Structure 1
Amino acid sequence: MRIGLLGTGPWAQLAHAPALSGHQDLDFVGVWGRRSDAAAELAGRHGTRAYDDVDALIADVDAVAVALPPDVQADLAVRAARAGRHLLLDKPLAPTVAQGRAVAEAVEEARVASVVFFTTRFQPEPAAWISEQAGVGSWFTARAEWLGSVFTSGDSPFADSPWRREKGALWDVGPHALSVLLPLLGDARRVSAAAHGPGDTVHLVLEHTSDASSTVTLSLTAPPAAAGATVELRGKSGVTVLPETADGAVPALGRAVDALRAAADTGRPHPCDAAFALRVTEILATAETLLDSGAARSEL
């Protein structure tokens, strides 16, 4: 598969470019970025070509990997899908439901494959646990905590990200939590409550189609010593917790590439495709509206 990378920021440098250049079944054709000097530097580091014109890169490949802010990703994903290119996208799919729906519709109309990189879904131990617990079913409730220290650690390469500062933990780590909860408990039919915590922290209560409920705590402003991710399930079979993994982003992204290739070859959608990512976007947008309206707040 011939693939091009759109984006040159920290995530492209730390994850995408190493994963694409190191994958034995890919032809890493080139890099395009909104800053031509950054594209040239990243391309040179990985032995590929820098493109000044994004459409020229799209024309030269079978697929594109996108490591750009959500609003930029959504617009370019639609353009690439309409050109018949398969899509390896990042979360969140888009910052609005309308933009997310445009991506999902473009993928469906063009009959191209899409995979959205929800990291946990491509790490071996967590992925196996999710599959096993989804088969168990009968879960009564779940607790998910996704706590990051992007804005408090002092050394995160993502701390200056404008879209993260605007959208906060709800949109940055919220997709990770939902990507685990939805296959376990079913779709969220209602955001029952939403409340702000310290910094950009938010707390959500979800009702799922399985009749289970879940609580979700999300933050990018947790103290570094408190950072980490936990998902706990409780039900008839007892209590189980999402396993930890030492698997990093680069090998996980390599598995996402394999998933994209399989979907392109077979025509069978991957569970983490654009349609799933659209549903995640819809849930996040609903929670954001509830938070912004203050309807979830009650003074005591």
Structure 2
Amino acid sequence: MRFGLLGTGPWAELAYGPALSAHPDVELAGVWGRRPEAAAQLAGRFGTRPYEDADALMADCDAIAVALPPDVQAPLAVRAAKAGCHLLLDKPVATDAAAAREIAAAVEGAGVASVVFFTLRFRPETAAWIEEQRAAGGWQVGRAAWLGGILGEGAGASPFANSPWRREKGGLWDVGPHALSVLLPVLGDVADLDGSLAAVSGAAGTVQLAMRHTSGATSTCALSLAVAPAAAVTAVELRGTAGAAALPDGETDAVEALGHAVDALLASARTGRPHPCDIRLGVRVTEILAAAQARLDGR
């Protein structure tokens, strides 16, 4: 399948470019970016050609992979779907619920496949753990902590530290999708966005979410990109009738996980069967986070 890559930033360079160029069933047909010189450099690195026009790249491809800020990604994803391209999107798909729903409408209208790259969902060890906990059932409480230090004082030189959208939107939007992608398949959807969701903000850019799920379980998420490096943690814990279960550490890196996401998109395009991490999950995660943002903004 001929893939076009939209984006030239660190995530495109460190994950999408390597994963697409190494995949045995993918031809990386070209790269487009908002900075033509960066597109030329990235294309040269991965042995493909740069495009100055995103629509021209879409016309030459079967699928589009997007490694761009969410609110840049959303309208380009709509254009790509309408051009007949399958979509490999990054999380969050947008930071506005209406924009996310527009992608979903374009995907449905064009009959193309979609996969949203929630990194942990495409790590085999995490996917197996989620299925095990879903089968066990009886969970009453969930607790997730995604506390990163890339924007905190004393942080090392992360390639993502200068990301304008991460600095503007913070941990709610950057790491919140990871937490939801693990909790929702086990505990169920958030019961409703009016009475079953609360959000507060605090020190170090921290946001705390509290949710009631359709299963009756409740969960909390602690999210930040600016904690002290020594306080950084990624953890999920469930408690219920079976006792307690903690998300195991994984060894699968982002490039390998993204390769599994490509596999999922290829399978969905071939069979017509939607993947659990398709645009519908991307939309729901955006709706939940947008509702949380509204609480934080006093709306």
Normalising by structure 1, what TM-score? 0.96
Check if 1:162 corresponds to 2:167. no
Take 1:198 and 1:263, find their aligned partners in 2: how far apart are those partners? 42
Q: 5+ residue gaps in structure 2?
A: none
Paired residue type of 1:149: G
Contact residue 93 and residue 116 of structure 2 kept, 8 A: yes
- Per the alignment, residue 53 of structure 2 pairs with 53
Most deviating of 29-38 and 153-162: 153-162
- Per the alignment, residue 19 of structure 2 pairs with 19
Check if 1:270 corresponds to 2:272. no
- Per the alignment, residue 186 of structure 2 pairs with 184
Paired residue type of 2:118: F
Paired residue type of 2:224: S
Deviations 1:213-271 (A, max 9, x none): 00110010111122121000001011000010121100000000000000000000000
SS at match of 1:218: strand
- Per the alignment, residue 32 of structure 1 pairs with 32
CA shift at 1:99, angstroms? 0.4
- Per the alignment, residue 89 of structure 1 pairs with 89
Check if 1:71 corresponds to 2:76. no
What is the aligned counterpart of 2:218 among 213, 216, 229? 213
Check if 1:251 corresponds to 2:256. yes
- Per the alignment, residue 132 of structure 2 pairs with 132
CA-based RMSD of the aligned residues comes to 0.9
Paired residue type of 2:92: P
SS at match of 2:191: strand
Check if 1:260 corresponds to 2:265. yes
- Per the alignment, residue 98 of structure 1 pairs with 98
Take 2:168 and 2:284, find their aligned partners in 1: how far apart are those partners? 21
Size of the alignment, in residue pairs? 294
CA shift at 1:104, angstroms? 0.7
- Per the alignment, residue 297 of structure 1 pairs with none
Take 1:123 and 1:244, find their aligned partners in 2: how far apart are those partners? 10
4+ residue runs over 3 A deviation: none
CA shift at 1:199, angstroms? 2.1
CA shift at 1:35, angstroms? 0.5
Contact residue 142 and residue 238 of structure 2 kept, 8 A: yes
Take 1:267 and 1:136, find their aligned partners in 2: how far apart are those partners? 29
Normalising by structure 2, what TM-score? 0.97
- Per the alignment, residue 117 of structure 2 pairs with 117
- Per the alignment, residue 43 of structure 2 pairs with 43
Deviations 1:35-83 (A, max 9, x none): 1100000010111111111111100110000000101100000000001
Check if 1:292 corresponds to 2:287. no
Take 1:110 and 1:265, find their aligned partners in 2: how far apart are those partners? 15
Paired residue type of 2:147: L
- Per the alignment, residue 171 of structure 1 pairs with 173
SS at match of 1:210: coil
Paired residue type of 1:98: A
Contact residue 148 and residue 232 of structure 2 kept, 8 A: yes
CA shift at 1:154, angstroms? 3.4
Check if 1:225 corresponds to 2:230. yes
Q: Identity over the aligned pairs, expressed in percent?
A: 64
CA shift at 1:193, angstroms? 2.2
CA shift at 1:157, angstroms? 1.0
- Per the alignment, residue 5 of structure 1 pairs with 5
Take 1:193 and 1:252, find their aligned partners in 2: how far apart are those partners? 31
CA shift at 1:282, angstroms? 0.4
Paired residue type of 1:52: E
Take 2:22 and 2:229, find their aligned partners in 1: how far apart are those partners? 31
- Per the alignment, residue 298 of structure 1 pairs with none
